[in-house]
Amino acid sequence: QVQLVESGGGLVKPGGSLRLSCAASGFTFSDYYMSWIRQAPGKGLEWVSYISTRGSTIFYSDSVRGRFTISRDNAKNSLYLQMNSLRAEDTAVYFCARFRLLLAPFDPWGQGTLVTVSS
Amino acid sequence: SYVLTQPPSVSVAPGQTARITCGGNNIGSKSVHWYQQKPGQAPVLVVYDDSDRPSGIPERFSGSNSGNTATLTISRVEAGDEADYYCQVWDSTSDHPVFGGGTKLTVL
């Protein structure tokens, strides 16, 4: 079955860095766009970034542009999010999700990994 | 940027019909997707492209979209439907996805 499993979350100090991973299985990873979406504690969903099938198209939200870098390794069926210069407001559960192309829905989502930025 | 507006909460008795709205400028011209999120879980797609249901989603879940409002309708509401619901569209000017603020459905 289609499965997305995030890892790499944890506690980090403000200004620090963290790298999230999303391992995909059960589908042809290279056929799908992939995205990171986050949810701060008690808050709604916020899109973070997405990457096209071969990585040629990448978009970031204004809140993370210049600090976060999305990438993928189709040979390893994996998606990544390098997060630098972390701030308290980046504290959230980070979900990875696949989508077929622009305008398509996100389906499915991984279970999420918690990132806490605190001194 | 494109903004989606949802009511913070909707309450309904078991067996009744719940309607959750999602407002946006000329949202009827866009494809709207709806997600259900239960506490501590990842969001799950329940309606896509305004009114289509993924496999495994009960027929009780339906959607419509016209003018400035999209609506998720849940018929014969059950206790297990209690969750947060989010609408989502793609902003054509930026090619970014946009989420509504979410609606907490309470089953009385």
Q: What is the pLDDT of residues A49-74, one digit of tens each?
A: 999 999 999 999 999 999 999 999 99
The single-letter DSSP state of residue A109 is: B
Side chain identity, residue A80: Y
Looking at per-residue confidence, does A101 or A8 come out higher?
A8
DSSP three-state, residue B102: coil
β-bridge mates for residue A71, sequence order:
A80
Query: pLDDT per residue over B51-82, tens digit each?
Result: 999 999 999 999 999 999 999 999 999 999 99
Q: What is the pLDDT of residue B51?
A: 98
Give percent above pLDDT 70 in chain A. Answer: 100
Integer-rounded Cα radius of gyration of chain B: 13
Write out the residues of chain B at the interface with chain A, using a CB-CB cutoff of 8 A: 31, 33, 35, 37, 41-45, 48-49, 54, 84, 86, 88, 90, 94-102
Give percent above pLDDT 70 in chain B. Answer: 100
Sequential DSSP letters for A33-68: EEEEEEE-TT--EEEEEEE-TTSS-EEE-TTTTTTE
Q: What is the pLDDT of residue A81?
A: 98
Report d(CA A10, CA A117) in Å as an integer. 8
Q: What is the mean pLDDT of residues B24-39?
A: 98
* Total Cβ atoms within 10 A of residue A74: 15
Cβ of residue A50 closer than 8 Å to a chain B Cβ = yes
Contact criterion met (CB below 8 Å) for B21 and B105: no
Q: What is the pLDDT of residue A38?
A: 98
Query: pLDDT per residue over A41-51, tens digit each?
Result: 999 999 999 99
Report d(CA A108, CA A92) in Å as an integer. 19
Q: What is the mean pLDDT of chain B?
A: 97
Report d(CA B24, CA B47) in Å as an integer. 17
Choose among A51, A47, A91, A88: nearest CA to A73. Answer: A51
CA distance A106 to chain B (A): 7
